[in-house]
Structure formats: structure tokens, C-alpha cells
């Protein structure tokens, strides 16, 4: 850089130096509903449609205003979409298994399909949270009364109270036939949801 260029250079602002820089698709509304692909595409994911609803609460029991939630799950046949499963006969071409939403209020609603049981696991959905003061916390939700819960290794390693805090419970049926499940997440304090260092499904 020449002296003239150096003299004319602008000082970097916070926006120039601070990240992370989220890709354009970070706010893609289609990631909030994994039962469909995009508007105009007739095909959709196979399996029982479900709606997850709930609240994200802080240590005082108040709604956590401003939270990003990411979801990762198997398809209806219990197969995760990964590089290792490329070409698997049970991969659903219309289901990615990855979703994301942002909630300003702390309440959320997420449309997906009921995951099938992966080998050695009960049906579950991995949930990652980002919020003020929290870099990243990860948990898994399970479906109450599913018979495979009794043999899931993660659930077997928890005491009954913590297992209960990971259960999504039926809460009716939507007009379109999707089963509704409620799952509240408590980020800290009394009744805190069990979180894990990292989860490889």
C-alpha cells in the first residue's frame, strides 16, 4: 500500500471487524418447516407431520427474548442425511433433517416430521440454542411414552427427573392432521433442561 493510499484509508468500524458473518440463508423461513421444500415444489417429506411448540426460559422463568434454535434429526426411517449416508436407499430426497428459527419472544413453533429410531437410539431431535450471554448449548428432546425410550443410552444415563425434562408431550392435533408436541427449554436455574457438551447423533 502506497503512502497516498494509506493516508486515504478509512478506519475500520465495528461492523467491519466483528463477526460472525451469517450467510444469506440464515434467515430463510423455509428452515422453519421441514415438511415442505420451497413454495412451488409439490413434493414433501415422508412421515407423520408434527409441530413442536414451546418456550425458551431463562433462570428466572422469564421468556428468553432473542433466541436462535437449530434442529437436527433423522428422517422417518431413522436415517440422518450425512456424507456417510449418501446413496442410502432410505434417504428421503425431500428431507434435509436440518432446521433453524429465530424467536424474538422466546416462544417457538417448528414444523417437521416424527423422526424414526436410528440404530440403538429412540426417536429424538437435537436442539442447539444461541442467546444473549450463551455461546452455544445443546440438548436432545425425546417423545414421551415412546417404547424405544427405555433402551436409549442417553436416557439410561440420566436420573428420572432429568429424563422427564427431555420429553416432548402430545398437545393435540392441528387442523391439517399434524400432531402437536410441547417442549419447554429452561436454560438455567431450577428445573434446568439437561445440556450436553456436544451430541453426535
Greater pLDDT, 5 or 200: 5
Give residue-wise pLDDT tens across range 95-120. 999 999 999 899 999 999 999 999 99
Domain boundaries, the chain: 23-186
Over 50: is that where the pLDDT of 17 sits? no
DSSP category for residue 47: S
Contact 194, 140 (CB under 8 A): no
Give residue-wise pLDDT tens across range 45-55. 899 999 999 99
Over 90: is that where the pLDDT of 9 sits? no
d(CA 162, CA 164): 5
Closest Cα partner for 201 from 161, 159, 142? Answer: 142
Residues paired with residue 147 on neighbouring β-strands, in sequence order: none
Over 80: is that where the pLDDT of 195 sits? yes
Single pTM value for the model: 0.82
Cβ within 8 Å of residue 37, ≥6 positions away: 30, 43, 44, 94
CATH number for the segment(s) 23-186: 2.60.130.10
Amino acid at each position: 500500500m502506497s503512502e497516498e493510499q494509506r493516508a486515504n484509508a478509512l478506519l475500520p468500524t465495528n461492523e467491519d471487524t466483528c463477526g460472525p458473518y451469517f450467510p444469506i440463508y440464515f434467515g430463510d423461513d423455509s428452515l422453519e418447516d421441514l415438511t415442505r421444500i420451497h413454495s412451488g415444489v409439490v413434493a414433501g417429506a415422508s412421515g407423520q407431520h408434527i409441530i413442536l411448540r414451546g418456550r425458551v426460559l431463562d433462570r428466572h422463568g422469564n421468556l428468553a427474548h432473542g433466541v436462535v434454535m437449530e434442529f437436527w434429526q433423522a428422517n422417518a426411517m431413522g436415517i440422518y442425511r450425512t456424507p456417510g449416508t449418501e446413496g442410502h436407499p432410505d434417504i428421503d430426497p425431500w428431507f434435509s433433517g436440518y432446521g433453524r428459527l429465530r424467536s424474538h419472544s422466546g416462544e417457538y413453533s417448528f414444523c417437521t416430521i416424527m423422526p424414526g429410531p436410528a440404530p440403538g437410539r429412540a426417536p429424538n431431535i437435537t436442539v442447539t440454542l444461541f442467546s444473549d450471554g450463551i455461546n452455544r448449548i445443546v440438548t436432545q428432546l425425546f417423545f414421551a411414552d415412546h417404547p424405544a425410550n427405555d433402551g436409549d443410552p442417553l436416557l439410561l444415563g440420566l436420573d428420572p427427573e432429568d429424563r422427564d425434562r427431555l420429553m416432548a408431550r402430545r398437545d393435540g392435533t392441528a387442523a391439517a392432521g399434524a400432531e402437536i408436541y410441547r417442549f419447554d427449554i429452561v436454560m438455567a436455574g431450577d428445573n434446568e433442561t439437561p445440556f450436553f457438551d456436544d451430541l453426535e447423533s
